[in-house]
Amino acid sequence: MQITCLKLKNWRNFREVDVPLEPRTYLIGANASGKSNFLDAFRFLRTLAQTDGGGLQRAMKDRGGLTNLRSLHARNDPEVRIAVDLSDVDQGQRRQWRYVLALKAEGKGQQRVLVSEERVECDGRTLLARPEAKDRGDVERRTQTHLEQIGSNASFRALADHFAGTTYLHLVPQLLKHGDEIGARIPENDPFGQGLMQRIAKTPKKTRDARLRRIQQALAQAVPLFSELRFEQDPVTGLWHLEANFTHWRAHGGWQRENQFSDGTLRLIGLLWALQEGEGLLLLEEPELSLNDAIVAHLPLLIERVLRDRKKRVSSRQVLISTHSEALLQSADDAALLLVEPSTNGSSVRTPDAEELAQIQHGLTPAEVLLPKTRPQAIEQIGLGG
Alpha-carbon dihedral angle through residues 14, 19, 23, 24, given to the nearest 10 degrees:
-60
Distance CA 364, CA 210 (A): 39
Q: How far apart, in whole angstroms, are the C-alpha atoms of residue 317 and residue 308?
A: 10
Question: Alpha-carbon distance 118 to 98, whole Å?
Answer: 11
| Confidence (pLDDT) at 358 | 93
For residue 25, report the phi and psi dihedrals to the nearest 5 degrees: -130, 135
H helix intervals, the chain: 35-49, 56-62, 66-69, 133-137, 157-164, 173-177, 179-182, 196-202, 205-222, 263-277, 293-309, 326-329, 354-361, 366-370
pLDDT at 277: 83
Question: CB neighbours of 201 closer than 8 A, spacing ≥ 6?
Answer: 231, 233, 240
The reported pLDDT for the residue numbered 113 is: 92
pLDDT of res. 131: 93
Query: What pLDDT does residue 169 have?
Result: 84
The two counts, helices (H) then strands (E), for the chain are 14, 15
- Give the model's pLDDT for residue 353: 94
Looking at residue 380, what is its pLDDT? Answer: 54
What would the pLDDT profile of 214-267 be if each residue is shown by its tens digit? 899 888 888 888 888 999 988 988 888 899 888 764 555 578 888 888 888 888
Q: What is the pLDDT of residues 332-364, one digit of tens each?
A: 767 899 999 998 888 999 999 999 999 988 988
What is the per-residue DSSP string for 314-340? -----EEEEE--HHHHTT-TTSEEEEE
- List, run by run, the mean pLDDT of 10-residue segments along the chain (386 residues): 96 94 93 92 93 88 90 85 92 90 84 92 95 90 92 92 90 71 55 76 92 89 85 88 78 76 87 86 90 88 75 69 90 84 91 93 89 72 54
